[in-house]
Structure 1
Amino acid sequence: MNFIITMITWGMSLMSSSYTNNTEPIETVIYRGLDRSVSQTIQMAKKLENEVDKLPRTIENGKLKTINCFCWCSGFFPGELWYLCEYTRNPQIKKYAKLYTARLEKVQYVTGHHDVGFMLYCSYGNGFRLTANKKYKKILEQGARSLSTRYNPTIKAIRSWDFGSWQFPVIIDNMMNLELLTWAGKETGDKTFYNIATDHANTTMNNHFREDYSSYHVVSYDTITGLAERKQTFQGSADESAWARGQAWALYGYTMMARETGDKSYLEQAKKVASFVMDHPNMPVDKVPYWDFDAPEIPNTPRDASSAAIMASALIELSQIDKSADSDKYLSYAKEQIRSLTSPNYLAEEGTNCNFILKHSTGHFRGNSEIDVPICYADYYYIEALMRLYKLLGLNNEDK
């Protein structure tokens, strides 16, 4: 079975590597991606409308796999709906955005893991940004308090997992949860939230990165000394390999922290991570990475469209924060990734793919989980990247 998967993905790899259409106006690409996202997402929303507390995650054994609000992926589909509501101003999409966001209300009290930022800021955060709903604000503030309970002042970081043999594991993904804390610091005036976010970002910057600015997935800390005691890449090909989505989280996380704080050290870190991924010799021609930059089976191994979507969204923002001569190359690279993701190789045809938007993501290859399938967070960051380009270029849905 694995051999069949490998051969299929190898064929897809060769096909997508040859795809280039830089003559098509980027505006056309953006509208095609957003309009396809609208049609797919509305169909998904309709399908699960009466399925209480269910949200889409992926395809398993050819069928839609759903989750409840306590899965770390729960905030992405509501977030998609809010972005598409912003794009279309469609009351039906707004209705669905409210419906699916409400399914996450209990998450505000979750203290058992670090993903509260993913879960609430993508959903309620986008909802509050667009509606100024006071209830959404209260839920976000409570979520930030819940997330803060996982902070350790000795280590100066937020604990990621409560399983495994690690003393105090911190994963690179955790950078993505800090935006909820920086937001809460500004909204409430309580600097504790901001300080936790910057402490975590600094600890991660000091311990997660190799000399080439690739990132480990997991760093475990000694709870007495606060020092790093083990460094691993749990979801990557090997401990010293560069797991693609981990690099994407790092790029996005430090770009976001540069925007939120104005701290030049975060901007420099983001730029160095960007150089690592953009210049990597194993990055395919279409700029949709293999699931791990160092996977020994390259090129006969699956891609990860989710990593490309996260990278593209981050690079668009980095191009606007960075005022150096590198700015244009970040934006150009992101546009190429968007062109690839919006090509037939990755963008699902309407009504297919169980109504997910993108094909060919990889969740946990080593765990034989979610290999070469659509995944909800790929769709979320793809739409976010499209919307960032849409706004940057001053496009108007009514004028297309």
Structure 2
Amino acid sequence: MRKLVVLLNLLMLNSAVLMAQDSPAKEGMSQLIDDQFKFADQQYKVLSKNVPADVMPQTYHAEKNKVQTSDTKWWCSGFYPGTLLYIYEYTKDPEILAEATARLGILEKEKHYTGNHDLGFMMYCSFGNAYRITKNPAYKTTIDTAAASLTTRYRPAAKVIQSWNASKRWGGPVIIDNMMNLELLSWVSDHGGDKKYKEVAITHANTTLKNHFRPDFSSYHVVDYDMKTGEVVKKQTAQGAADESAWSRGQSWGLYGYTMMYRFTKDKRYLDQARNIAKFILNHPNMPADLVPYWDFNAPGIPNTYRDASAAAVNASALLELAQYVNKKERKTYVTAAEKMIRSLASDAYRAKLGENGGFLLMHSVGSIPHKTEIDVPLTYADYYFLEALHRYKNWYL
């Protein structure tokens, strides 16, 4: 009995020591998260003043001191209201909620949009968060309608959702980004909507698993299908350094997408895929020490080339979710990596000063170097996934 008491006391002492060692780190992250949301609250008020009421912010051109805007059909149109909602969720600032509500008002009509696959980015990151936070039933109706619109792009013969319309370059292009839009379909099916939406999401995820990835678990950006037969015509990487290179944000979309699909299905193939993509990203010899990747893992000129803060933000958010589904050792690996990414993005190297950067939070993202667009600039989705990662860390690990 005495030995048992001694053993229990030792276990309690060790636990207390571990908690004491962990506490300063957690306290530091708690303060960092609080600081970032307070900053975001003020910075996005600056951004709101730089964006006319009928459009959405896209990026900022420092040389012109001008915020570039987009119409609501642009694939990123949902990120600005979504980011505002993440800020409101933390700060409860009514001014931020009012701005988010106004922007949702101009975006709502896009629930009928069928021009490409981006309805998930556009409508779930915005209205999905709005419904989750406010429980306004009108927002759910919008999400349900958007899911129906997205499924019009499903091609049964090829078992994929076609990303873009046919062009001179591709007949039936499907991009790795499309994995992100499966959240809209899966969520709607799980919340009273048509079950076929989730079936489409699963089928698309399975086809992508089969055709998009290389043996090292890196992915192509674009797979071109014959939509009548399902045959793969060619595999390319449009926004990366080369067809066989690993475009950084593409790897991030895959990591996030398969982690999210495991959440909805508990299909172990998806979990294993996410873990293998994480391994590729975190162990890549060209990953910088601060874990903010170069725009392509195989980019020419490394280390003297551009970083992509947006890829780091997506990675951080995805890893924090992936850590929920694995053993303690892996969990620690993923959370530690995500925390390092968050700390890097929150540092002066990547986060703007109040009133600067057009009102965006993060600097140094890359849209598409091959297309010479959005190079080393702020991007709305970098801010969105950065704040999502902060919420996840706060909710799950503090």
Q: TM-score w.r.t. structure 1 length?
A: 0.90
Aligned residue number for residue 147 of structure 1: 150
Farther-moved stretch of structure 1 (309-318 vs 258-267) = 258-267
Aligned counterparts of 2:117 and 2:111: Cα–Cα separation in 1: 12
Farther-moved stretch of structure 1 (322-331 vs 299-308) = 322-331
Aligned residue number for residue 200 of structure 1: 204
Aligned residue number for residue 116 of structure 2: 113
Taking only aligned residues, the RMSD between alpha carbons, in angstroms, comes to 1.5
**Which residue of 283, 289, 296 corresponds with 1:285?**
289
Amino acid at match of 2:319: L
2:325 is the alignment partner of 1:321 = yes
2:268 is the alignment partner of 1:264 = yes
Deviation at 1:23, TM superposition (A): 11
Contact 1:32 1:342 in 2 (8 A): no
Aligned residue number for residue 340 of structure 1: 344
Deviation at 1:227, TM superposition (A): 1.9
Aligned counterparts of 2:166 and 2:226: Cα–Cα separation in 1: 15
Distance 1:300 1:339, change over 3 A: same
Instruction: Report 1:1-400 matches (<5 A).
Output: 25-48=28-51, 51-60=52-61, 61-164=64-167, 165-323=169-327, 325-394=329-398
Aligned counterparts of 1:208 and 1:35: Cα–Cα separation in 2: 40
Contact 1:346 1:359 in 2 (8 A): yes
Secondary structure of 1:230's counterpart equals strand
Amino acid at match of 2:290: D
Contact 2:116 2:163 in 1 (8 A): yes
Deviation at 1:354, TM superposition (A): 0.4
Percentage of identical aligned residues: 50
Amino acid at match of 1:40: Q
Aligned residue number for residue 398 of structure 1: none
Aligned counterparts of 2:367 and 2:251: Cα–Cα separation in 1: 14
Q: Which has the higher contact order (CA 8 A, sep 6+)?
A: 1
Secondary structure of 1:72's counterpart equals coil
C-alpha deviations, 1:365-398, integer Å up to 9, x for none? 111111111011100000111111111234xxxx
Aligned counterparts of 1:33 and 1:237: Cα–Cα separation in 2: 33
Farther-moved stretch of structure 1 (159-168 vs 245-254) = 159-168
Secondary structure of 2:170's counterpart equals coil
Contact 2:38 2:91 in 1 (8 A): no
Aligned counterparts of 1:73 and 1:390: Cα–Cα separation in 2: 26
Amino acid at match of 2:265: T
C-alpha deviations, 1:337-360, integer Å up to 9, x for none? 001000000010011000000000
Deviation at 1:163, TM superposition (A): 4.5
Deviation at 1:318, TM superposition (A): 0.6
Aligned counterparts of 2:231 and 2:97: Cα–Cα separation in 1: 47
Structure 1, unpaired ranges of 5+: 1-21, 395-400
Aligned counterparts of 1:387 and 1:189: Cα–Cα separation in 2: 27
Amino acid at match of 2:244: E
Deviation at 1:100, TM superposition (A): 1.0
Aligned counterparts of 1:324 and 1:148: Cα–Cα separation in 2: 38
Q: Which runs of 4+ in 1 moved over 6 A?
A: none
Secondary structure of 1:104's counterpart equals helix
Secondary structure of 1:325's counterpart equals helix
For the pair shown, the structure with the greater C-alpha radius of gyration is: 2
Aligned counterparts of 2:84 and 2:383: Cα–Cα separation in 1: 11
- Counting matched residue pairs gives 372
Aligned counterparts of 1:343 and 1:155: Cα–Cα separation in 2: 45
Aligned counterparts of 1:218 and 1:274: Cα–Cα separation in 2: 20
Aligned counterparts of 2:253 and 2:220: Cα–Cα separation in 1: 11
Contact 2:259 2:321 in 1 (8 A): yes
Amino acid at match of 2:316: A
Farther-moved stretch of structure 1 (218-227 vs 110-119) = 218-227
Q: TM-score w.r.t. structure 2 length?
A: 0.91
